[in-house]
Amino acid sequence: MSIRLFSLKGYVHLYRSLLRFSKMSVNDAKELVYWLNTANIDSYSKAYPDLVLFQSSPLVFCKRLDGNERPYRTEVQLYKALETLWRNIDIDVLMSEQREAIQQMKCVMSNLEFDFYKVFDMEIDSPITVYGQCRKHLIPFEDEPSVCMFDEWLYLPTA
């Protein structure tokens, strides 16, 4: 299994997006992102045992989440980022706090799916959404869609 390690910059995007698109408090979002980060690091360490990785303390990591990165433009981007993070975590290496964070992340994803379905009457990963145009990463491309539906994105005026 190939595990990708994500940078702090990606976690800042994720954190700010959780604040924007979910009903999480600042502290809850920071705690969730911290434990997801440690789960990713631990998974990467298991996949590549010859590499030495260092984890920030919770205080230092959470302070660095207050960076300048923008949140994702759409809930589709947030969903795809969470899905990508989930695929880069090995559940077998996790401790209880990390497992709880994974469960919380799955709840956030379910809420995003449910809310999206209520608004658009379709699945968030449907081919007619911009799901396929969003990057499988925590750091979005600059030109990723700013709307949720593919046909709307095609006809947006360009700058």
* 8-53 per-position pLDDT tens digit: 999 999 999 999 999 899 999 999 999 999 999 999 999 999 988 8
Burial 80-114 (b: 16+ CB within 10 A, else e): bbbbbbbebbbeeebeeebeebbebbeebbeebee
pLDDT at 72: 96
pTM recorded for the entire structure: 0.93
Amino acid at 42: D
CA distance 66 to 14: 11
CA 16 from centre of chain: 10
- Measured between alpha carbons, how far is 75 from 125 in angstroms, rounded to an integer? 11
